[in-house]
Amino acid sequence: MSVGLEIAEPAPSAVGTSNGNGSARGDVARVIKRGIDLLRRPELNNSIALTETCLTCGGLLTQGECLRCLVKLGFLSDSQQPDKVENGRRLTPGPLKYDHFEVEVGADGFPTELGSGAMAITYRARDTVLNSVVALKVIDRKVAQNPGARSRFLREARVAAQIRHPNVARVTHYGEQDGECFYVMELVEGETLEARIRRNGPMPLALALEVIEQAARALAAAEACGVVHRDIKPSNIMLESDASGALVVK
């Protein structure tokens, strides 16, 4: 039984059931004294001392994180946030470089975006050391200033890097630069399930079942590593083909 449950113990007698006012006052005095004695216990003082608050909003922290700030920043409500491609676009054209990863630039002179959400932008980039094309996910400086958001982003990258499965894009690198946090993952050459359905309409039953089966395998592999995906939707499911032309879902 945890410390503090003693407060829930019933009093010897209920206030107001006594035949005399003196006895009732005595009951109240005993209850107050008992409460004061409990407050003086070192265990309770230690638990109060360990209570932490968010430096940004003043709210209580849960396991070192401020859930209020994470929701505000979009970490806990990606599925409820509209895509912000235009808002997330860099206003200044030109190349971007994170460590030895150089973001590719499109014909319009702006960095090539693969996707954009409430808190992060994913770019198409090149590993200048290995000369390979990768996907690079970056969270905004304002978001990265929040310690809870930054630690959650790092934990997301670390956990994803542990998953080894053909239906999960591999994470290969994490870094921080000029107040921004980023990680690098395998680039999936293909299109989203949403784009396929918008172009071709409903999928044949056999193909739809194949997509569902591969996506379920990916989720099972993630769950085995302690990861629960919070934003499953067609725009987050990629379809590509392997060397033999067979469908691969990631």
Q: How far lies 241's CA from each of 22, 41, 62, 177, 245, in Å?
A: 86, 65, 42, 34, 5
Q: Compute the C-alpha angle 151/155/159, nearest 5°.
A: 175
Q: Which member of 27, 83, 231, 242 is catalytic?
A: 231
SS3 173: strand
Q: Residue 128: what are its φ and ψ, rounded to 5°?
A: -75, -15
Q: Is 231 a catalytic residue?
A: yes
Amino acid (1-letter code) at residue 193: L
CA distance 95 to 177: 15
* Beta-carbon contacts of residue 107 (< 8 Å; ≥ 6 apart): none
- CA torsion angle for 208, 214, 218, 224 (degrees, to 10)? 110
CA distance 236 to 120: 14
Q: How far lies 61's CA from each of 16, 58, 70, 86, 106, in Å?
A: 41, 9, 11, 33, 42
Host H or E run for residue 40: none
What residues act catalytically?
A: 231
